[in-house]
Amino acid sequence: MIAKVNGELLRKVPKDLFIPPDALSVFLDAFEGPLDLLLYLIKKQKLDILQLPMQQITAQYMEYVDLMTTFKIELAGEYLVMAALLAEIKSRLLLPKLVVAEEELDDPRLVLIRQLQEYEIFKNAAENLDLHPRIQRDIFVANAQLPEDITTIPLLAEVSLRDLAYNLQKLLKQAEHFEHHQIQREVLTTREKMTHILALLQDGKVRTFHQVLDLKEGRRGIVVSFLAILELLKESLISLIQNNPLGEIYLSLAE
């Protein structure tokens, strides 16, 4: 039987019946494979797996395969392999006992029954697992604990070239007061000034921009010191720190 229409049983597909492509593919997708289909048929008929009635179960399975073929649904190869296996087991059971060889005296259903039992165990386990919440199953909540003695370090503003230029301008203006009252000293080269700044920061302490750029060296000395700072920054030997925009700039050795 394929269907019942107006109380009448239809055993064949009407020739004028239009079936959209893959319209019944959902039937095939409902099962995980041939073992799943067999288990479904066994449970539906309330059959005993250990006393598997091969003639009945094979007939039902083949009806399913024929139905899919009738509706031109492409069956996976494993379904056809199972159909052949069922037919083989059924034929072996129908053979007269005298024809069966000694090595074939074991029940030919045993391997299939064992496979069905194992599949049922895993299927039930999967269904039970699916009942559990996804958290701690598929998703795990991170429970990171921070150390109790953690020290919070405030995020410092980034030192921009505009801030450097602003501080340089202030220092140059202040240095003008020393130009006419101090004897001009020999100004160090940029490379020598770089060495001097690194030595000044060697103790690990932080120095302010004003402490590194000595006003007593005049405008020329400040410019050389400023160029030395830029070169040290370029070589990643020092770091600049600023608490707020246009605020005091601090120098330290790079980590």
Q: Distance between alpha carbon 152 and the CA centroid of its chain, in Å?
A: 31
Q: Which of 47, 92, 85, 40 is closest to 64 using CA atoms? A: 40
142 in a domain, yes or no? no
**What is the per-residue pLDDT across 209-253, written as a single tens digit (0 to 9) for each?**
888 877 777 778 888 888 888 889 888 898 888 777 667 788 888
244 in a domain, yes or no? yes
| Backbone region of residue 228 per phi and psi (left: phi > 0; alpha: psi in -120 to 50; beta: other values) | alpha
Check residues 248 and 192 and name the one with the higher pLDDT: 192
For the chain, what percent of residues have pLDDT higher than 90?
2
Give the integer Cα–Cα distance in Å for 194 and 211: 14
In terms of domains, do 121 and 169 share one?
no
In terms of domains, do 16 and 125 share one?
yes
150 in a domain, yes or no? no
Whole-model pTM: value is 0.40
In terms of domains, do 119 and 233 share one?
no
pLDDT band for 155, please (50, 70, 90 cuts): very low
In terms of domains, do 218 and 125 share one?
no
In terms of domains, do 121 and 17 share one?
yes
Lowest mean pLDDT across 114-128, 162-176, 220-234: 162-176
In terms of domains, do 110 and 191 share one?
no
Across residues 174-180, what is the average pLDDT? Answer: 62
In terms of domains, do 23 and 116 share one?
yes
In terms of domains, do 30 and 115 share one?
yes
Domain carrying residue 51: 3-131
Cβ-contact 207, 245 below 8 angstroms: no
| Domain at 203, CATH number | 1.10.10.580
In this predicted structure, the answer to whether residue 193 has a pLDDT above a threshold of 70 is yes
In terms of domains, do 166 and 240 share one?
yes
The tokens describing 71, both together, are 């509706």
In terms of domains, do 119 and 34 share one?
yes
Q: What pLDDT, on the 0 to 100 scale, is given for residue 198?
A: 92
Give the integer Cα–Cα distance in Å for 220 and 109: 101
The tokens describing 139, both together, are 């998703």
Q: Distance between alpha carbon 109 and the CA centroid of its chain, in Å?
A: 44
Q: What pLDDT, on the 0 to 100 scale, is given for residue 136?
A: 66
The tokens describing 220, both together, are 């020329």
**What is the per-residue pLDDT across 30-71, written as a single tens digit (0 to 9) for each?**
677 888 888 888 888 888 888 888 888 888 888 877 777 665
147 in a domain, yes or no? no
46 in a domain, yes or no? yes
Across residues 153-170, what is the average pLDDT? Answer: 63
In this predicted structure, the answer to whether residue 108 has a pLDDT above a threshold of 60 is yes
66 in a domain, yes or no? yes
62 in a domain, yes or no? yes
pLDDT band for 26, please (50, 70, 90 cuts): very low
Lowest mean pLDDT across 44-48, 78-82, 126-130, 165-169: 165-169
In terms of domains, do 108 and 169 share one?
no
Q: Which residues face 157 on adjacent strands?
A: 242
In terms of domains, do 7 and 123 share one?
yes
**What is the per-residue pLDDT across 130-154, written as a single tens digit (0 to 9) for each?**
777 777 667 777 777 767 776 655 5
Last residue of a domain, one of 131, 150, 174: 131
Mean pLDDT, the chain, whole residue set: 74
Q: What pLDDT, on the 0 to 100 scale, is given for residue 151?
A: 64
* Number of domains within the chain: 2
40 in a domain, yes or no? yes
